[in-house]
Amino acid sequence: MSYTSPFEKSTTKPGHGSIVLGLLPPNTPVLSTVSYQYPLKLVAPDPLPPPDHSEDNPSTPSLVHTVFLLTYGGGIVAGDSINLDIRLQSKTRLVLLTQGSTKIFKTTDPTVVSKQYMTVGLAPDSALVYLPDPVQPFAQTAFSQSQIYTLENEEGSLCACDWVTSGRSARGENWDIHEYKSRNEVWTVNTGVDGKSRRRLLLRDNLILDQSGQTSMQLSDRMDGYSVFGTLILRGPVFKSLSQHFLDEFEALPRIGGRNWGDTQLPELTPKEQRRAQRQQREKADVLIWSAANVRGFVLVKFASREVEGARNFLRDLIKEEGSILKSFGERAVLCLK
């Protein structure tokens, strides 16, 4: 019988971390590995049963685990490199969170790029909710991050948000960065009849903000006055109704350039329509614009707003209104949107 000492020295490299969420038969998910090295820190509070769990519904796992991704000092210092690998086994659910925005600190040398890489393997019938706080690159920073998700046979459920802000707006920073890159990719590994596995790209969302050459336009001018940009990626059976909700609400947005001629009688609004009207008014006040598209089995939501709060309100309102994440993952899943 193998025995692992709890006091054994860690073998991981600086900035490296690993999370493995396994399943104890018949239905108890456990975090079988949570390891990390400075400057990365992972905190896993006690798992909670999801609100929609009941003994006679064995299709939902009995526990939902939560892991906070933290860095010492609350941010990433120039030259830091973080490498996190996450595996979700079948019938497990994980919530990944941050505690406050990921701050990127100033670099004296623009060629020193801080990096954060995350790879996630999702087994069929597993689900991940990753709704972090935004990344906040301060002025004169160079940062590159990538989130690579790998599905098996196009199965598995994913809800991942990636958003970035213009810096410390209170100090007048407005996209005064050297470089910011963020890559989100979803791959699928299919095993063919010949037993060979093939990787195929399902989605690539690659944002490249740099001051380089021909674009020859200040970053702040390229952003059309917006301070927050984000993408929400939804896929899989667990997030089906949420995906549909985003599509429906996009469809229900008032037409741009449409006019109210006052010749149509306004019908009584149902409670749902009233909520929608209120939210749309707030989006207008927050100067938030968004779009949703159904592409290749994903629902891809893109949004931009003048202030972080506007984007936060938008995400929280839509996710809470629909409610399925709260039911399947609990209130914790939307902690960063509070």
CB of 243 to another protein, least distance (A): 14
- The set of residues, in sequence order, having a beta carbon less than 8 Å from that of 2 and lying 6+ positions away, is none
Shorter beta-carbon distance to another protein: residue 205 or 321: 205
Q: State whether residue 305 is helix, strand or coil.
A: strand
Shorter beta-carbon distance to another protein: residue 240 or 302: 302
Please list the residues that pair with 265 across neighbouring strands: none
Decide: 174 and 211 in contact? Cβ < 8 Å.
no
Shorter beta-carbon distance to another protein: residue 138 or 290: 290
Decide: 15 and 39 in contact? Cβ < 8 Å.
yes
CB of 258 to another protein, least distance (A): 4
CB of 257 to another protein, least distance (A): 4
Shorter beta-carbon distance to another protein: residue 43 or 252: 252
**Residue in the block written with tokens 């990719």:** 185
CB of 247 to another protein, least distance (A): 11
E-strand stretches of 131-178? 135-137, 142-152, 157-165
Shorter beta-carbon distance to another protein: residue 62 or 280: 280
CA 134 and chain centroid, separation? 9
Please tell me the distance from the alpha carbon of residue 332 to that of residue 338, in angstroms, as a whole number: 10
Q: By the criterion CB under 8 A, which residues form the site for another protein?
A: 181, 183, 200-210, 212-215, 217, 221-224, 226, 229, 231, 250, 253, 255-259, 289-296, 300, 302-304
CB of 238 to another protein, least distance (A): 22
- The set of residues, in sequence order, having a beta carbon less than 8 Å from that of 186 and lying 6+ positions away, is 149, 150, 151, 158, 201, 202, 203, 233, 235, 298
CB of 273 to another protein, least distance (A): 18
Shorter beta-carbon distance to another protein: residue 107 or 227: 227
CB of 207 to another protein, least distance (A): 6
CA distances from 8 to 13, 32, 40 (A): 15, 16, 19
Neighbours of 236 (CB within 10 A): 22
Shorter beta-carbon distance to another protein: residue 71 or 101: 101
